[in-house]
Structure 1
Amino acid sequence: MALKAAQMANAGDSIDEIVTQIESEVPRTDIYVSLDTLKYAVKGGRVPNVLGKFLMRIGAKAIMTLKRSGEGTAFGLAFSRKQLDAKIMKHVSKIMATDGIERYSLVHAGNPKCAAEYAEQFTQIVGKPPEYITPISAITTIHSGIGSVAISLVRGKANVN
């Protein structure tokens, strides 16, 4: 959304136009983060301690997302990166089929190889490449952990949940 606001400002749109556009995108924006470990989600309080330790002990990995309230929550579990990736691809394919995807971007925490693989797969699903692929900040990495990869997307205007 920050990129969209900057593009609109550079195009000469007014502050009111920018705010209206960005506010219309908030309910259509989703993020799905593939975590290599639950360790940092537990430490950050996003996953309850006892549950998180149990899941880590059995080797579970998680997909995290944000609720509309902004609170982080688990979206799915798997026991391998391959399974996590497949779940995210399937979910994004479903979004594309029902709502369409206006635009998307990819971020990663020290995992450019996985981010490049995501870009290749999502380009096929969405029909266009991501707006950008970039490493996330150190502050965000503290919460997601090294190796995490995320897709952020803005759904099309039709059929928004």
Structure 2
Amino acid sequence: MDKIALITDSTSDLNEELISKYDIKMLNLKIIYKDREYVDRVDITPQQVYDNLKVEVPHTSLPSIQDMHNLFNRLQSEGYTHAIAICISSGLSGTYNTLKLAASEHTNLNITVFDSKSLTLGAGALVLGCGEMLKNGKTYDEIVQALPAMRDKVSVYYMVDTLEYLIKGGRIGKVSGALGQLLNLKPIISINADGVYYTHTKVRGKKQAKTKLMEIVQDTLSATKAKIWVMHGGSYDEGQKFYEDLKDNPNITHLGFGDISPVAGVHTGPGLIGVVIAKEPFV
């Protein structure tokens, strides 16, 4: 009988309850400061990273290829026959390509490495969808075949409080970034079909940005039912308020709340609010 493992990386932002519920295997990225390296969500929390950004903006790195080999070896020793790995977009991280390389050396396992072309719970939603399919008795082939259609139903949008960290990280040019700061522009950022960031729209001021983000969600919900996750990066209270404002919408089939991995957050800074939308029927 097939024994199927679900694998993801720590940027999928799944909480411990969901990881345990679906027995998800985790590959953790690294947070690297001048004097120490931390394992994302293991020995450093997202809030600790956000709180320290004014002092030092750390570097980040993907899980080592040895971490990946160790995981595949452990799965094989535990009797797994198949594995489905869903990770952060290949357009945003080298995790996908490295995982593909590692998987190719473990021929005793049937492994699918799937590019989420997303991040945070955009990728996490796909993992949860696979988990539900597994619980419903779907086969490895059925789950793998369903993944592209699930991916097409997922959208990610977020707003940033400051352009400072996008400028520092080279995500936007210094001139355009400085002009944006001067004009108090707040971009709503999304991820395109190639899995890379793009500016969905720009508004002036944080209040307008939150209003626009809510409009995006409500426009979707006026046309279809959907699962919604509200995410924050060092902005718990504002994220919680956004979450509360959505709680009574009858077209939301599931409403989640959580924090965004600092692996993504170091490029956007504190004060981020994001939404992940998964249109129904999802699985």
Q: TM-score, normalised by structure 1?
A: 0.84
Q: Is the 8 A contact 1:32 1:150 kept in 2?
A: yes
Partner of residue 105 from structure 1, selected from 229, 250, 257: 229
Distance 2:228 2:145 in 1: 20
Q: Which has the higher helix share?
A: 1
Q: Is the 8 A contact 1:47 1:73 kept in 2?
A: no
Q: Is the 8 A contact 1:29 1:154 kept in 2?
A: yes
Aligned counterpart, 1:139: 263
Q: Aligned ranges for residues 7-156 of structure 1 at < 5 Å?
A: 7-98=132-223, 100-125=224-249, 127-128=251-252, 130-156=254-280
Distance 2:234 2:216 in 1: 24
TM-superposed deviation, 1:13: 2.1
Aligned positions, number: 156
Aligned-CA RMSD value: 2.0
What does the per-residue CA deviation read over 1:87-109, in whole Å, with 9 as the maximum and x for residues that have no partner?
A: 111122212223x1421212111
TM-superposed deviation, 1:126: 5.3
TM-superposed deviation, 1:132: 2.2
The alignment-based identity, stated in percent, is 22
Distance 1:59 1:118 in 2: 21
SS state at 1:132 partner: strand
**Structure 1, unaligned stretches of length 5 or more?**
none
Distance 1:132 1:95 in 2: 17
TM-superposed deviation, 1:130: 4.5
Q: TM-score, normalised by structure 2?
A: 0.50
Distance 1:97 1:131 in 2: 16
Q: Is the 8 A contact 2:161 2:206 kept in 1?
A: yes
TM-superposed deviation, 1:124: 3.4
The structure having more radius of gyration, on CA atoms, is 2
Moved more, 109-118 or 36-45: 36-45
Question: Deviation above 3 Å: which 4+ runs of structure 1?
Answer: 124-131
